[in-house]
Amino acid sequence: MKKCLLCFTGVLLNYAPLFSQFYFYDANHLEPEWRIEAGISLGIMNCLTDLGGHKGTGKKFIKDINWNSTKPCGGLFLVVTHHDHLGLRVESTWGALSGADSLLKNDPSEANLRYKRNLHFRSRIREFGALLEFHPLYLTRSGGSPLSPYLLLGIGYFHFQPEALFNGSWVSLQPLHTEGEGFREFPDRQEYKLQQINFPLGLGLKYDVSRRLVIRLEILYRILTTDYLDDVSQGYIDPSLFHKYLPPSTAELALRMADRGGELDPLYQTIPGSIRGNPKNKDGYFSLNVKISMVLNRKRF
């Protein structure tokens, strides 16, 4: 991903003379018709999945965020902007996500049922995206302000790999088929892929600190086509199916990872087909970032 960004930067710089029309940025500098910026991004990342969530009755969208699951993230980006109105950005992002029913331990509401389920996950995220920046209300320097609110829309490609802790080691969950994904008994549960497409949507605010330095504050939500970001989506399965489809050692591990309520309460029991997750809502994740970039082609005259 980093190599793609560096290559794209080199191509743009080599062909910068083609973007030859200029207008005034200030009394001493010309603003190119196509402005090129390269920068870094630092922030936090969180997710909306079947695990953990906010206390009380499950809510929709941001009302169900548990901020205790927040993790750091970072990235590199390159953006080309035409006349301060429309920009094309490519970006590489690295981060991590997590969710845990244990966060609801002291909640006396119906969220305690999620606590008793006793599932958790973590996943590293690697993402590459292409986004459009639309600046509908750019407040120019001549108008007394270098601020520009903007909208974001794009497409991304990301890698994830849900894991859970077992006996002091992190175990990859996808190969365990914890909900029978790919088993003949569940034709509607296909084995999920660890590389998938997402659709980022967001809002941002850009501030030109100087002719070279630009700062952005941005929130970006990723719409996903999978409900297995946390390896939880539908119902519990008949435990005997693990031995039918998996090698003995893998089947034993799958049994332990699929149903962990007994680790909290030896009397806890689940019935095949009972609720493990909610397939009606796909998972999603978002980031809140501060971005710092340098303008590469403003010229002094």
Cα gap 27→208, rounded to integer Å? 16
Higher pLDDT, 84 or 133: 133
pLDDT of residue 224: 97
2, two tokens: 């980093």
Cα gap 129→20, rounded to integer Å? 28
pLDDT of residue 117: 93
**Residue 3 pLDDT grade (very low, low, confident, very high; cuts 50, 70, 90):** low
Higher pLDDT, 63 or 222: 222
Higher pLDDT, 32 or 94: 94
> What are the sequence ranges of the domains in the chain?
2-300
Q: Contact, 87 vs 295, CB < 8 A?
A: no
pLDDT of residue 213: 93
Contacts of 267 (CB under 8 A, 6+ apart): none
Please count the other Cβ atoms lying within 10 Å of the Cβ belonging to residue 175: 12
pLDDT of residue 283: 94
pLDDT of residue 13: 45
Class assignment of domain 2-300? mainly beta
224-256 tens-digit pLDDT: 999 999 999 999 999 999 999 999 999 999 999
pLDDT of residue 169: 96
pLDDT of residue 298: 76
**Residue 55 pLDDT grade (very low, low, confident, very high; cuts 50, 70, 90):** low
pLDDT of residue 62: 64
pLDDT of residue 61: 58
13-38 tens-digit pLDDT: 444 444 444 455 555 666 788 899 99
Q: Is the pLDDT of residue 76 over 70?
A: yes
pLDDT average, residue stretch 198-210: 94
DSSP assignment of 200-230: EEEEEEEEE-SSSEEEEEEEEEEEES-S-TT
134-161 tens-digit pLDDT: 998 766 555 445 788 999 999 999 999 9
Mean residue pLDDT of the chain comes to 87
Burial class (CB in 10 A: 0-12, 13-18, 19+), 216: buried
Burial class (CB in 10 A: 0-12, 13-18, 19+), 67: exposed
Instruction: Note the maximum CA span of the chain.
Output: 79
